[in-house]
A and B are shown apart, each in its own frame.
Chain A
Amino acid sequence: AQRVTQPEKLLSVFKGAPVELKCNYSYSGSPELFWYVQYSRQRLQLLLRHISRESIKGFTADLNKGETSFHLKKPFAQEEDSAMYYCALSGRGSTLGRLYFGRGTQLTVWP
């Protein structure tokens, strides 16, 4: 069964510190992984996806198939990074088009 686990409900760091938001998944196949972000009072928006291997707002995420992880990292956190972050997985076959979300991690960056 498909599952996305974000073990940290809350994460706090100081400005300038490195940050890592953890995401583990289970899926019997080759999934597509995403990170979505929701800033305060804004709608959920796509931050990055593993297939594009891009860096957005200084964030990167590497898919580790051996550890079934897709952790989100940023070397120097900024106050404006404070938001809710959701890891998501897209399946194939009968579940094509559907996203499976983790429960989210609330990141707070202190000044």
Chain B
Amino acid sequence: NAGVMQNPRHLVRRRGQEARLRCSPVKGHSHVYWYRQLPEEGLKFMVYLQKENIIDESGMPKERFSAEFPKEGPSILRIQQVVRGDSAAYFCASSPMTEANYGYTFGSGTRLTVV
């Protein structure tokens, strides 16, 4: 069990480009969560997905950001037309159930730098 795998670990994009962040959950986990951590801040919830469904995207910026978790393959967080303010660490977590009480398993994160 390789845990939650995120790639790439580091991503550098120029302003205006697109960033695609991938997350493969723990095998058997059908719930995926994305969090963003800005410098000097805690993790902030972005979106909660189940296979082929977005359950809660209330933490996602209204524009340029989207997420999916297809039936096959990893979950993707997509940021279009990146700006400097998008520079952050993006963490993915998975769980076998809805209840966060069981604790998530986190990935190592993707550090996005926009230059």
Contacts and interface: CB of A to CB of B under 8 A. Distances in A.
Interface of A: 4, 6, 32, 34, 36, 42-46, 49, 51, 86, 90, 94-104
B111 interface: no
A73 to B, nearest CB: 20
A104 B48 CA distance: 22
Given A90-B100, A96-B100, 14 more contacts: A32-B100, A36-B106, A43-B108, A44-B43, A45-B106, A97-B33, A98-B33, A99-B35, A99-B45, A99-B104, A101-B43, A103-B40, A103-B41, A103-B42
A43 to B, nearest CB: 5
Interface in B78-111: 91, 95, 98-101, 103-104, 106-109
B22 interface: no
A43 B94 CA distance: 13
Given A45-B106, A97-B31, A98-B33, A90 B101 contact: yes
Given A98-B56, A100-B45, A103-B42, A46 B33 contact: no
Nearest to A98: B45
Nearest to B4: A43
Contact of A102 (B40, B42, B55): B42
B7 to A, nearest CB: 13
A56 to B, nearest CB: 11
A28 B48 CA distance: 22
A96 B98 contact: yes
Nearest to A5: B42
A99 B100 CA distance: 7
A43 B9 CA distance: 12
Contacts of B14: none
A42, A90, A102: which has the most chain B beta carbons within 10 Å? A90
B44 interface: yes
Contacts of A90: 99-101
B101 to A, nearest CB: 5
A41 to B, nearest CB: 9
A14 B48 CA distance: 40
